[in-house]
Amino acid sequence: APQLKKLGYAKGVRYVFHCHEVGNELGELMKSVVGPLGKLSLTFAPKDEGAIGTIDTIDMWFNRKSYLSTMMFARPVTGINPEKQGALLNTVADMIDAGKITHAVTKTMNFEEAKEVMELQASGTTIGKIAMTL
């Protein structure tokens, strides 16, 4: 992470919220980007089967680093308190309606443009979310 060193973070940063696919570079990310007492949160499962094995657990232990894995649909998929999912979504909707938070939708397209929506998502160049109306 030479870019972080230039910004004054020679030992890495405290929090990393990683919202994209990660592969076998996961271990290097944990070692060079996540600093002491740092936390890495992934929203995607590692794409490479051995990615978790690339993490230096001794480095994590000595530096008290944490790895968190999150999945938006864990409750409905596992059947653990699925009723809470609706309550959480209602709370977020209320917060958006009240102006406390904003959504990440940057583009709205109709169903007939589904192919273009998929192409945009696959391009890796979209910023924010694309909403598709039905």
Is the distance from CB of 14 to CB of 37 less than 8 angstroms?
Answer: yes
- Please check whether residues 56 and 112 belong to one and the same domain: no
> Distance between CA 60 and CA 22 in Å, rounded?
18
Residue at a domain's end among 69, 94, 111: 69
- pLDDT of the residue at 121: 85
Q: Which amino acid, residue 65?
A: K
Both 89 and 36 in one domain: the answer is: no
Tokens linked to 131: 């909403």
What was the pLDDT predicted at 89? 86
Q: Would you say residue 20 lies in a domain? A: yes
Structure tokens of 17?
A: 């919220």
Any domain includes 7? yes
Count: domains in the chain: 2
pLDDT at 45: 82
Structural domain boundaries, residue 12? 2-69
103 and 59 fall within a common domain: no
- Specify if 92 maps to a domain: yes
Domain-ending residue, one of 48, 69, 90: 69
The letter for the amino acid at 112 is: E
**Could you say which of 69, 94, 110 is where a domain stops?**
69
Q: Is 76 a domain residue?
A: no
| 87 in the same domain as 53 | no
Beta-strand relationship, 129-133 and 105-110:
parallel
Q: Please give the average pLDDT of every successive group of 10 residues along the chain, which has 134 residues.
A: 88 89 87 94 85 90 92 81 83 94 89 91 86 87
Whether 74 is covered by a domain: the verdict is no
- Retrieve residue 27's tokens: 């271990």
Instruction: Find the radius of gyration of the CA atoms of the chain.
Output: 19
Residues sharing a CB contact under 8 Å with residue 65, sequence separation 6 or more, in sequence order: 30, 34, 36, 37, 38, 39, 40, 59
User: Which residue type is seen at 80?
Assistant: I
* 62 and 9 in a common domain: yes
pLDDT in the model for residue 109: 92
Question: What's residue 46's pLDDT?
Answer: 83
Are both 40 and 64 inside the same structural domain? yes
Which helix (H) or strand (E) element contains residue 74?
Answer: helix 74-78
pLDDT at 63: 96
